[in-house]
Structure 1
Amino acid sequence: MADTEGVVVPQEPQEPQAKRVLYFCTLPPEYCEFGTTSKKCREWLEMNHSELVPVIYNLEAIESAMQNLSTAAQEKAQKAEAAMARKALKDEAKQERELAKKLSSPVILKRVERTKRKHVIVITGLEAFGLDLKKVAKEMGKKFACGASVTKGVGGGGDEIVVQGDLGVEIREWIEERFEEVPSGNMEIVEERRKKKEGQ
């Protein structure tokens, strides 16, 4: 048996580890001051990671820099801060309007008769909740073992999902369970019958 004492065995190089980045909005905290939600970001940081506030928002450095500015430059900085605050309020109001619109957007599950015994369910309105319709259709196809595809809406409407089979109630229940962002009160099942030909 060979004596391995004193021999340095080369170690395998370790894989680089991914760096964890903290996010509240769409930016890391050190860049939030350049975004439109800087006030909210700072409040969140103070509540959740108070140790980072003095690092990111060095108040002493800001105050000393402001004291070194001329009166005109200080006024300009205050005007810029006020403009940012107004812009943040506008953006906040816009986000609230978008949320209200989203919460009131209807999701229609239309039961369409193709032949006397065959039906399809046409789903419209899901795109308002930020869902990828192609992924949703693929998931539905797997879940219900049926054909599900995304098509352009009739008359220039938005995209819609067409599901083969009479599965309106099942699809509604599945959407309620699977996608929390879609309020159940917004979903409605309607029926569209084929127009009878003259003479029938």
Structure 2
Amino acid sequence: MVHLQALEDQMASTSLEDNQTTDVEDRKKAREAAKIERELEKKRASKVVITRIARNKRKCVTSVYGLENFDIDLKKAAKTFANKFACGSSVVKNNQGNDEIVVQGDVSDDLEEFIPATWKNVPEDNIEFVEDKKSRK
């Protein structure tokens, strides 16, 4: 009779421990799912900004900012732009200290079509075009 009572107590404590471990595992899975959801929301809200910057008289460069938010390697993207448009392209730090790609020449219209065609995870709605003119002194 004593063994039967001890066995019942052990069974009751084992099921409690199993329930506690599944609760912990469920909480971990919920946190991971929430983290993935936040990352997807961040990607949806992220913008790729293409800026045409006028230099001297007829010279200009095109700046691309925000590709790193879509998990795109900037050096590979700069190399792809240089090969596609037959021009110089490099990764530089902007005034805010963030990396951006600078492409020589006015290729902003072509970039608006080329980026979503090359990288499918960048939606066309998230690409924004800005024209920046150099101020005269």
TM over 0.5: yes
CA distance in 1, matches of 2:37, 2:63: 30
Runs of 4+ in structure 1 over 3 Å off: none
Match of 2:119 in 1: 179
RMSD between aligned residues? 1.2
Greater strand proportion: 2
Structure 1 residues 140-179: aligned runs within 5 Å:
140-156=81-97, 158-179=98-119
Task: Tell me the alpha carbon deviations over residues 46-94 of structure 1, each in whole angstroms, 9 at most, x when there is no partner.
Answer: xxxxxxxxxxxxxxxxxxxxxxx74323311211111111111121122
CA distance in 1, matches of 2:95, 2:123: 25
2:30 aligned to 73, 82, 89, which one? 89
The structure showing larger relative contact order (alpha-carbon pairs under 8 Å, at least 6 residues apart) is 2
What's the secondary structure of 2:72's corresponding residue?
Answer: coil
1:129 aligned to 2:39? no
Match of 2:7 in 1: none
Give, in angstroms, the shift of residue 96 of structure 1: 0.9
Pairs aligned (count): 128
Flag the structure with larger Rg.
1
Task: Tell me the alpha carbon deviations over residues 155-200 of structure 1, each in whole angstroms, 9 at most, x when there is no partner.
Answer: 22x2100000000010111101111100100111101111111xxx
TM-score (norm 2): 0.89
What's the secondary structure of 2:96's corresponding residue?
Answer: helix
